[in-house]
């Protein structure tokens, strides 16, 4: 979804940067209001859904998974979610938590979101096995998987996003400190997206392969958006009402191989133009793909193995998900290739009507497969948003 991914604050910052007014950011009043907009934007902690799902993509992201410590059970987990919720609420409104590290001093909330989820293993450890949703059944194994179990799954998962790197790191430290003796870090990953203000107008994000990525996303204005992305009330798992299931995949991009591919072949891999994301069958970014159109050679213009053909909802019985990823770059490996790619995070009301059928088909014949490797995986139940006075997950844990 172009509007969703591009960021409400897109385009800000430019006028302040050009005006040379260096007081605006510090004072928050007078001067150019543009520069302060990135910092002063706050996302609501309370609501029907947790923040960080339909929130516009932020420029920084941290994903962190925890396992409950030996001996910690439901009581400790409830106390932890209460601490985390209080911290998230304070930080998201720009307030410092108790015993603050000072990392984000001077900065506004910068669109910070902190989103909490439960993994499959959480339910056995807390004596809540009978309330574990079937949606958390393990994802099937895919033939191209090269998953590292130490960087996969986890009892608890937290997604942090912010439009400032220090604000995001500050929240990460606070979440880790709050875990105390109750939970231990299992894995942690860092990601990024384009900064608000870097493009002249809000645009769909690009990934590290240079593709416009996010165009086909369901949009909150679609009549079936809620049904596809959020768990309805009255479905048997009331604590998940308004919640969503997050599939997380660390997908390495084999960028050296990809970049050797000529532009026309790169475009055939996806079925869209690299310059503006428009389908190879013509039009602009938002024009529908014409999957039946044949070229002068009698072959489909959008090849049979093109990523956007295989993943299109109409090819998958309507299966759809909201993709909300971060790019990652963890340095250059000993062989000289970048350890870079996509922290693919997608949201759906049911993974069996979202990620699973699509990934099954991609696994069998996606032209992109030669250039990517799925290295880690997680599936998390992300409960609905807390009401005023409630903590995240309270309806499950009390
Ligand atoms: C579409 C890139 C992995 C599902 C796209 C598009 C690009 C892209 C460039 C076209 C623009 C758009 O609609 O957003 C990538 C890259 C991946 C990756 C670089 C890995 C590094 C995945 C995975 C899934 C997936 C793992 C799910 C299993 C989809 C879907 C669409 C899409 C559902 C939209 C199709 C439509 O609505 O027509 N992807 N993708 N992608 N991708 Fe991926």
376 CB near ligand 1 (under 6 Å) = no
Tokens standing for 102? 């000072």
pLDDT (average), residues 43-58: 98
% of residues, the chain, pLDDT over 70: 91
Q: Is the CB of 316 under 6 A from ligand 1?
A: no
Look at residue 14 and tell me whether its pLDDT is greater than 70: no
**Cα 225 to ligand 1 centre (Å):** 18
pLDDT at 364 over 60: yes
Residue whose CA lies nearest to ligand 1 atom number 14: 214
Dist. CA 297 → ligand 1 center (Å): 27
Question: Catalytic residue among 155, 178, 213, 366, which?
Answer: 213
Q: Which among 355, 220, 211 has a CA at the least distance from the CA of 270?
A: 211
> Cα–Cα distance between 361 and 246 in angstroms, integer?
19
Residue 21 predicted with pLDDT over 50 = no
Q: CB of 355 closer than 6 A to ligand 1? A: yes
Q: CA nearest 53: which of 234, 185, 226? A: 226
Exposure string over 172-203, b if 16+ CB within 10 A, otherwise e: bebbbebbeebbeebbebbbbbbbbbebeebb
Confidence of residue 36 (pLDDT cuts 50, 70, 90): low
Asked whether residue 24 carries a pLDDT value surpassing 80, the answer given is no
Q: Is the CB of 359 under 6 A from ligand 1?
A: yes
For ligand 1, whether the C-beta of 193 sits within 6 Å is no
352 CA from centroid of ligand 1 (Å): 17
Indicate whether 10 pLDDT > 90: no
pLDDT recorded at residue 2:
28
Q: Taking residues 138-154, what's their average pLDDT? A: 97
Least confident residue range of 98-102, 153-157, 295-299, 330-334 = 98-102
* For ligand 1, atom 6: residue with the closest CA: 213
pTM, rounded to two decimals: 0.92
Q: Whose CA is nearest to atom 29 of ligand 1?
A: 311
| CA dihedral for 18, 21, 27, 29, sign (positive or negative) | negative
The average pLDDT across 338-353 equals 98
CA of 167 to the centre of ligand 1 (A): 29
Nearest one of 123, 151, 186, 96 to 383, comparing CA atoms = 123
The verdict on the CB of residue 311 being under 6 Å from ligand 1 is: yes
Predicted confidence band of residue 16 (pLDDT cuts 50, 70, 90): very low
Mark whether 181 is an active-site residue.
no
Which residue from 203, 213, 357 has its CB within 8 A of the most atoms of ligand 1, so it is best to mutate? 213
Ligand 1 centre to CA of 312 (Å) is 9
Q: Which residue has the higher pLDDT, 19 or 281?
A: 281
Q: Which atom of ligand 1 is nearest to the CA of 342?
A: 21
Mean pLDDT, to the nearest integer, of 287-314? 97
* Confidence (pLDDT) at 37: 87
126 CB within 6 A, ligand 1? no
Query: What pLDDT shows up at residue 236?
Result: 82
**Averaged confidence pLDDT in the chain:** 91
Say yes or no to pLDDT of 154 above 50: yes
Q: What is the mean pLDDT of residues 120-149?
A: 97
| pLDDT score of 27 more than 80 | no
pLDDT of 31? 45
How long is the chain?
398
pLDDT higher at 8 or 177: 177
Q: Which of 2, 216, 228, 291 to mutate to test the pocket of ligand 1 (most atoms within 8 A of CB)?
A: 216
Contact 120, 134 (CB under 8 A): no
Cα dihedral across residues 230, 325, 219, 200: positive or negative: positive
Alpha-carbon distances of 337 from 97, 255, 330, 332, 375, rounded to whole Å: 40, 8, 11, 6, 16
CA distance 240 to 272: 37
pLDDT at 272 over 90: yes
Reported as a single tens digit per residue, the pLDDT across 187-244 is 999 999 999 889 998 899 999 999 999 999 999 999 999 999 999 999 889 999 999 9
84 CA → ligand 1 middle, Å: 32
> Percent of the chain at pLDDT above 90?
87
Give the contacts of 276 (CB within 8 A, at least 6 positions apart). Answer: 212, 284, 285
Q: What is the pLDDT of residue 26?
A: 36
């Amino acid at each position: 979804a172009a509007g969703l991914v591009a960021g409400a604050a897109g385009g800000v910052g430019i006028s302040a940067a050009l005006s040379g007014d260096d007081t605006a950011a510090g004072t928050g009043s007078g001067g150019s209001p543009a520069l302060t907009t990135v910092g002063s934007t706050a996302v609501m902690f309370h609501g029907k859904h947790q923040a960080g799902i339909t929130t516009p993509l932020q420029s920084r992201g941290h994903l962190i998974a925890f396992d409950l410590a030996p001996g910690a059970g439901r009581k400790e987990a409830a106390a932890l979610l209460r601490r985390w919720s209080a911290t998230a609420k304070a930080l998201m409104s720009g307030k410092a938590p108790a015993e603050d590290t000072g990392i984000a001093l001077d900065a506004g909330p910068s669109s910070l979101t902190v989103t909490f989820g439960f993994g499959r293993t959480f339910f056995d450890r807390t004596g809540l096995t009978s309330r574990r949703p079937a949606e958390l059944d393990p994802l099937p194994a895919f033939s191209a998987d090269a998953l590292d179990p130490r960087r996969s799954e986890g009892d608890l998962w937290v997604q942090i996003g912010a439009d400032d790197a220090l604000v995001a790191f500050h929240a990460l430290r606070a979440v880790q400190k709050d875990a105390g003796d109750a939970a231990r870090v299992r894995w942690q990953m860092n990601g990024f997206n384009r900064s608000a203000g870097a493009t002249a107008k809000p645009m769909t994000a690009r990934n590290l392969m240079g593709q416009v990525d996010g165009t086909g996303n369901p949009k909150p204005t679609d009549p079936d958006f809620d049904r596809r992305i959020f768990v309805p009330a009255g479905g048997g798992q009331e604590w998940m009402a308004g919640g969503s299931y997050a599939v997380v995949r660390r997908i390495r991009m084999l960028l050296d191989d990809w970049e050797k591919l000529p532009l026309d072949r790169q475009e055939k891999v996806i079925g869209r133009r690299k310059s503006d994301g428009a389908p190879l069958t013509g039009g602009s970014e938002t024009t529908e793909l014409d999957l039946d159109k044949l070229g002068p050679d009698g072959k489909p213009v959008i090849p049979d193995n093109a990523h956007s053909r295989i993943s299109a909802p109409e090819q998958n019985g309507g299966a759809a998900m909201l993709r909300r990823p971060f790019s990652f770059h963890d340095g250059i490996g000993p062989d000289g290739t970048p350890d870079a790619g996509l922290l693919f995070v997608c949201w759906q009301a049911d993974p069996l009507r979202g990620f699973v059928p699509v990934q099954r088909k991609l696994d069998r014949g996606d032209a992109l497969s030669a250039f990517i490797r799925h290295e880690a995986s997680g599936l998390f139940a992300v409960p609905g948003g807390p009401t005023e006075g409630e903590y995240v997950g309270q309806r499950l844990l009390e």
